[in-house]
Amino acid sequence: MFDQKLKIGITCYPSLGGSGVVATELGKLLAERGHEIHFITHSIPFRLGHYHKNIFFHEVEVSDYYVFRYPPYDLSLASKMAQVAQMQNLDLLHVHYAVPHAVCAFLAKQMVGSDLKTVTTLHGTDITVLAQDESIKDLIRLAINQSDAVTAVSKDLIRETRQLLDITKPIDLMYNFIDKRVYYPRDVSGMRHDYAAPHEKILMHISNYRPVKRVCDVIDVFAKVAETVPSKLLLVGEGPELSKVQCKIRQMNLEDRVCFLGKQEDVAQVISMADVLLLPSEKESFGLVALEAMACGVPTVGSTAGGIPELVKHGETGYLAPIGDVDAMAEYAKMLLLDERLHRQFSQACLHRATSEFTSDAITSQYEQIYYRVLGME
């Protein structure tokens, strides 16, 4: 049964974030294995790239009927899911992020019938932030309970889902993964020279600059490191707190030592320039960027928030300190940057851990097993 090819609808946030990246990469990998993948989203997922055999895109169009003060995207999505499921004869819908996608999948299933199975993957703030909101908590609980299978990207997220929503049904652990054909240490010596002198180290932060990322802590850590280590800070990405961060950099007179790279497509190339990745988040269900760094041989210094300790092994592939403890994080970063032998050892451990524990091959197979299970094909 396990080689039976499936027809799978995937819904995610197509234009941003780790959840969109994981959903899109998973879709591509499943298509490579011969499954037929139908993305049902409002725009083409940004990581989809060029043409792929077995991958189809169905655009959700929102009605702008004049009585609607707020165009009802969720209803259009649910209807589109049901239409695509019926027309393409889908076996299942795999939705990433509980709100609104799992709720829409539940509605679609009501329209299509119980032969259509639904799998929900929880990614983080759909639980750690939204499930604390009393106005939608019950809706999230309903969507999770009505899914045929639920997965979450760390043990910590499973624990928090159970605690916040009082969920008792099984939740499968499904870590984020990397494609080792893409994520490996790149030779970026030429690029490094664009940002740092040969004797300078490079610290890097990559995120969407939401408050949960605590990017101001990144600046505080870097300022302490830069007191003793000749170094540069490269900031990658953009988001709501970027101007606050820029202001802090000016106030601390660090403009000459910090470079803004904005959003970058080729993360593996950019991340390979770093000596250390900084991830001091307040909430982080997994921390895909730390895995991407790990696969490129770059250790992470960050916080112990959420699922980060399940990924970054303290004292082996990076160092972790309590949220907000910028002094400890700076000391750890200095240890790695001032001791080449230690850095090489951590870098090797990173490569080993990324390629032994978090490969796309293994994790795609685990998702397939879940699909076969909900379809009764085990």
377's tokens: 């094909």
CA atoms 352, 354, 359, 363: torsion sign: positive
Region near ligand GMT per CB under 6 A, out of 15-23, 68-76, 216-224, 351-359: 15-23
Is residue 67 helix, strand or coil? coil
- Give the chain's length: 378
State in angstroms the smallest separation of the CB of 284 from ligand GMT.
Answer: 4
Q: Which parts of 78-117 interact with ligand GMT (CB under 6 A)? A: none
| Residue whose CB is less far from ligand GMT, 86 or 239 | 239
The answer to whether residues 259 and 233 touch, using CB atoms and an 8 Å cutoff, is yes
How far apart CA 141 and CA 150 sit, in angstroms, is 12
CA-based end-to-end distance of the chain: 7
Stretch that binds ligand GMT, among 73-81, 119-127, 141-149, 352-360 (CB under 6 A): 119-127
Q: In the set 14, 17, 27, 302, which binds ligand GMT (CB under 6 A)?
A: 17
By the 8 A CB rule, do 351 and 358 touch? no
Q: What does the block give as tokens for 49?
A: 């790239």
The site string for ligand GMT over 146-185 (x = CB under 6 A, - otherwise) reads: -------x----------------------x---------
Query: Cα–Cα distance between 67 and 293 in angstroms, integer?
Result: 48
Q: Does 364 bind ligand GMT (CB under 6 A)?
A: no
Among 210, 244, 314, 352, binds ligand GMT (CB under 6 A): 210
Q: Which is nearer to ligand GMT, 25 or 36 (CB)?
A: 25
- Looking up tokens 């090797």 gives 348
The correct pick among 6, 8, 10, 22 for binding ligand GMT (CB under 6 A) is 22
Q: Which stretch binds ligand GMT (CB under 6 A): 85-93, 121-129, 260-268, 328-336?
A: 121-129
State which residue, 208 or 345, has the beta carbon closest to ligand GMT: 208
Apex 78 CA angle, 59 and 144, nearest 5: 125
**118 vs 125 by CB, closer to ligand GMT:** 125
Q: How many residues bind ligand GMT (CB under 6 A)?
A: 19
Q: Could you say which residues in the range 270-329 bind ligand GMT, by CB under 6 A?
A: 283-288
Q: Is 208 in the site for ligand GMT (CB under 6 A)?
A: yes
Q: Minimum distance between the CB of residue 188 and ligand GMT, rounded to whole angstroms?
A: 24
Amino acid at 97: Y
The answer to whether 169 touches 143, Cβ cutoff 8 Å, is: no
Q: How many beta carbons lie within 10 A of that of residue 229, not counting itself?
A: 18
Question: Is residue 212 near ligand GMT by the rule CB under 6 A?
Answer: yes
Q: Tell me, what DSSP letter sits at residue 206?
A: E
Least separation in angstroms between residue 292's CB and ligand GMT is 10
Exposed/middle/buried for 162, CB within 10 Å: 0-12, 13-18, 19+? middle
The three-state secondary structure class of 107 is helix
DSSP conformation class of 130: G
Torsion sign across C-alpha atoms 22, 289, 251, 262: negative
Kindly indicate which of the ranges 11-19, 65-73, 82-90, 365-373 contains the residues binding ligand GMT, using the contact rule CB under 6 A: 11-19
| Interface stretch with ligand GMT, choices 69-77, 122-130, 241-249, 360-368 (CB under 6 A) | 122-130
Contact segment (CB under 6 A) with ligand GMT among 79-87, 161-169, 207-215, 262-270 equals 207-215
Binding stretches for ligand GMT (CB under 6 A) = 17-20, 22, 123-125, 153, 176, 208, 210, 212, 283-288
